[in-house]
Amino acid sequence: MPEKASVALVGAGPGDPELLTLKALRHFQTADVVVYDRLVSAAILALIPPGVQRICAGKAPGEHLLAQDAINALLVRLARAGRRVVRLKGGDPYVFGRGGEEALHLVAHGVPFEVVPGITAASGVLAAAGIPLTHRGMATGVRLITGHTCESDDLDIDWRTLADPATTLVVYMALASLARFRDGLIGAGLAPSTPAVAIASGTQPGEQICRATLADLPAAVEAAGLTAPVLLAVGSVVALGDILAAKSGLREEADACRQLG
């Protein structure tokens, strides 16, 4: 890794600025330009010093300000112009952040780069809600998947590998696919009573938490009016959230859709 990288692929974490790494903050302070995604919170963008150019490359489902190829080309162009570039992504660049694609493009064009990991939503958002990813006797593994895998009926999802009661399943960008995950998991043998939770805008001031059984979660989320981005977690560890959030000093959630019993 070069001592002074031309491009830094930086993870912004799940949204709470206090979860930003010191290394990420240092890159903010030395950047000439920050190319940032839609999911980077306003509180984190506020940490970018005045005078640093900001370019929004945000992507929402079906709506891209810049296509991925255009972002790749932009990073190369800025770096070759001698700019110190921060490519700022929500969560971790290498966890559903397309950071690997951008890194490969930089390599192909001879642009030196550095990757600054960020706290991914699976750990940051769930921990803030009092939910451990693993717990002895309840969950011995974790599976991360994106809800975008359900956007095409042509995709062959092996629901049997996902419907493991000893594994915590975490689905990123899950709002549009909640019902499909429910049907697929239950159809593959996971108990309808399995604890589940949907969290919107996790770790941020507008956070919403909706807990229910796997069978009831889609209807509960619709009734609660959750909006994207939404993280889904399914597994026995979700039931610990009611206990650990209350006892650890985490903020009390007063949502109307707690249905775990």
pLDDT tens digits for 171-195?
999 999 999 999 999 999 999 999 9
Pinpoint the alpha helices (H) of the chain: 22-30, 42-45, 68-80, 99-108, 121-128, 159-162, 178-187, 217-224, 241-247
158 is catalytic: no
Which of the two residues, 259 and 132, has the higher pLDDT score? Answer: 132
Residue 6: predicted pLDDT: 86
Residue 164: predicted pLDDT: 97
Residue 151: predicted pLDDT: 57
Which of the two residues, 154 and 223, has the higher pLDDT score? Answer: 223
pLDDT at 62 over 70: no
Residue 157: predicted pLDDT: 86
In this prediction, residue 63 has a pLDDT band, given cuts at 50, 70 and 90, of low
CA distance 201 to 40: 11
Tokens, residue 67: 């296509």
CA distance 196 to 228: 17
Average pLDDT of the chain to the nearest whole number: 90
In percent, the amount of the chain with pLDDT more than 70 equals 87
Residue 1: predicted pLDDT: 40
Tokens, residue 256: 């109307």
Weakest mean pLDDT among 1-5, 87-91, 105-109, 125-129: 1-5
- Which of the residues 16, 23, 32, 59 is marked catalytic? 59
State residue 254 phi and psi, 5-degree precision.
-110, 35
- Mean pLDDT confidence for 28-43: 96
Number of residues in the chain: 261
Residue 257: predicted pLDDT: 46
CA distance 231 to 211: 12
Domains of the chain: 7-116 (3.40.1010.10), 121-247 (3.30.950.10)
Peptide bond into 112 cis (omega under 30): no
**Under 8 Å CB-to-CB from 199, ≥6 apart: which residues?**
125, 126, 129, 207, 208, 209, 210, 230, 231, 233
59 is catalytic: yes
65: number of Cβ within 10 Å: 14
- Which of the residues 16, 37, 92, 216 is marked catalytic? 37
Torsion of CA 9, 91, 18, 221, to 10 degrees: 160
pLDDT at 2 over 50: no
pTM of this prediction? 0.89
Weakest mean pLDDT among 36-40, 191-195, 213-217: 36-40
User: CA triplet 118, 43, 92: central angle to 5 degrees?
Assistant: 15
